Amino acid sequence: MSTVSPSGSPRIRVALLGCGTVGSEVARLLTEQAGELAARAGAPVELAGIAVRRPDKHPELPTELLTDDAAALVVREDIDVVVELVGGIEPVRSWLLAALNAGKSVVTANKALLAEYSAELFEAADAAGADLYFEAAVAGAIPLLRPLRESMAGDRITRVMGIVNGTTNYILSAMDATGAGYAETLDEASRLGYAEADPTADVDGYDAASKAAILASLAFHTRVTAKDVHREGIADVTASDLAAARTLGRTVKLLAICERVTADDGAESVSARVHPVMIPRSHQLAGVGGAFNAVYVEADAAGELMFYGQGAGGAPTASAVLGDLVAVARNRVVGGRGPRESAHAALPVRPMGQTPTRYHVSLDVADRAGVLAQVAQAFAAHGVSIAAVRQRDANDTASLVVVTHLAPDAALQSTVDEIAKLDVVHEVVSVMRVEGEDA
């Protein structure tokens, strides 16, 4: 419930949960830009409480605002908006449900929570007439979710494809630049502070899969959770993969790809996946280096759009959080609400095996008559059409690169399994999906 300030305007009172990398920047900007934020929101927006795990470790924060009891803070009578920057599922999920049930609006950057429980959180927000905003949960500072939720609400989005994890993009960019292997590059990224002490969520693709679930849900008006997203990380990407890509004028990126797939009978489904792909160096996403993020959106009427910027970091992420906070404050001031969940399409999620993809397969094979025919036969036996073949000879071995047309991913996997067993194949050097080229 908003209180009334001496000026007669309603004051928007904020509970901040978490004051780490992002939370500390939100607290700083809320204080430093108080005047401007009040003018934009239509009312003063003030910090009324800050919950952290260890209050004694935060001498920089006003003691009177600090607490370690987030559960009590989120339901306090004077709080209007809860800004959650702690992360993880529990106890955060319980805090936010309690806050929403008590009529508080919520702003969060918590992709892991949203990718599993957004339906439950939206239902609680609806029941209480409160707002749920989460721009910072995907691609940090980049305005992406609001365009999908609001600006493009009148269009029909067909594809969202992008680099949504800065850590893996930094590692792959470095492997591409230096020719070094994965383990060595990860060690270097950790030493320089680009990878976290425990990089599992990033390098194994969990972080990107959570973001893909959120993007697919918004783009296709369908509930998609992290469990629906096919996920492969970058731990198996080798220096050979990058060398093979380089030879063909491509590079390797970890992409989140969310697509509306239309079957021959017109039935629509949604596919969401995260895995390494080869893309042409001429593709816009290939030029996105280091820890930056970029997302490419295709829609029937808008055509192709590209969103680019800093996907992480305290201040960049705080920018997105504050944008949400101003939006929620404005809604409170005029007595309205922001967009609700839009899941009316309820499209089925297509399993990865049935999702159309293209493969790049690089093989070392015996250099004698009939070998190419045997390899081509394996593709034909699984109904996979070959788009291009390239051969380079060295002594009695030939390096063969095969790029396919689109085929169901399961058929491509079976083809590779069969090829690996052929006597004439000395080694499967690199197998990777291909994006960004005409099929």
* Active site residue ranges: 211
Helix (H, G, I), strand (E, B) or coil at 423: coil
Q: Of ligand HSE, ligand NDP, none, which one does residue 18 interact with (CB within 5 to 8 Å by kind)?
A: ligand NDP
Measured from the CB atom, the residue of 307 and 372 that comes closer to ligand HSE is 307
Among ligand NDP, ligand HSE, none, what does residue 136 contact (CB within 5–8 Å per kind)? ligand NDP
CA distance 429 to 432: 10
Please report how close the Cβ of residue 194 comes to ligand NDP at its closest, in angstroms.
11
- Identify what 313 binds: ligand HSE, ligand NDP, none; CB under 5 to 8 Å per kind: ligand NDP
87 interacts with, out of ligand NDP, ligand HSE, none, CB within 5 to 8 A per kind: ligand NDP
Pairing of strands 132-133, 81-84: unpaired
Nearer to ligand HSE, 99 or 171 (CB): 171
Q: Based on CB atoms, which residue is closest to ligand HSE, 312 or 347?
A: 312
Residue 167 contacts which entry, ligand NDP, ligand HSE, none (Cβ below 5-8 A, type-dependent): ligand HSE
The count of other CB atoms within 10 Å of the CB of residue 416 is 18
Question: Considering beta carbons, is residue 202 or 259 the nearer one to ligand HSE?
Answer: 202
Minimum CB separation of residue 268 from ligand HSE in Å reads 30
Contact 119, 310 (CB under 8 A): no
Nearest to ligand NDP of 320, 407 (CB atom): 320
Closest CB to ligand NDP among residues 26, 327: 26
The letter for the amino acid at 128 is A
CA distance 304 to 299: 7
Query: For strand 250-262 and strand 268-280, is the pairing parallel, antiparallel, or unpaired?
Result: antiparallel
Least distance in angstroms from the C-beta of 136 to ligand HSE: 8
Binding site partner of 19, from ligand NDP, ligand HSE, none, Cβ cut-off 5-8 A by kind? ligand NDP
**Distance in Å, CB of 22 to ligand NDP, minimum:** 4
415 binds, among ligand NDP, ligand HSE, none (CB under 5 to 8 A by kind): none
Residue 167 main-chain phi, psi, to 5 deg: -60, -50
For the CB of residue 65, give the shortest distance to ligand HSE in the complex, in Å: 27
- Reduced to 3 states, what is the DSSP secondary structure of residue 418? helix
What would you report as the CA-atom Rg of the chain, rounded to the nearest whole angstrom? 25
Nearest position to ligand NDP, beta carbon: 20
Helix (H) or strand (E) holding 238: none
Query: Which partner from the list ligand HSE, ligand NDP, none does 231 bind, CB cut-off 5 to 8 Å by kind?
Result: none
The Cα 241–Cα 280 span in angstroms is: 14
Give residues with Cβ within 8 angstroms of 345, minimum separation 6. 220, 221, 222
C-alpha–C-alpha distance, residues 139 and 211, integer Å? 8
Tell me the angle at which helices 314-334 and 34-41 cross, rounded to the nearest 10 degrees: 40
Shortest Å distance, C-beta 214 to ligand HSE: 11
Token code pair at residue 295: 């997302």
3-class DSSP state of 248: coil
Q: Smallest distance from the beta carbon of 402 to ligand HSE, in angstroms?
A: 33
Torsion of CA 377, 382, 388, 390, to 10 degrees: -50
Is residue 4 exposed (0-12), middle (13-18) or buried (19+ Cβ within 10 Å)? exposed
Q: Which residues bind ligand HSE (CB under 6 A)?
A: 140, 165-167, 202, 207, 311-312
Q: Would you say 22 and 136 are in contact if contact means Cβ atoms under 8 Å apart?
A: yes
Cβ-contact 16, 51 below 8 angstroms: yes
Structure tokens at 73: 């803070």
Bin 7: left if φ > 0, else alpha if -120 < ψ < 50, else beta: alpha
Q: In this complex, which beta carbon is closest to ligand NDP, that of residue 136 or of residue 400?
A: 136
Measure the CA–CA gap between 364 and 428, rounded to whole angstroms: 6
List contacts with ligand NDP (CB under 6 A): 18-23, 51-54, 57, 70, 85-87, 109-111, 136, 140, 312-313, 317
Q: How far is the CB of 433 from ligand NDP (least distance, A)?
A: 27
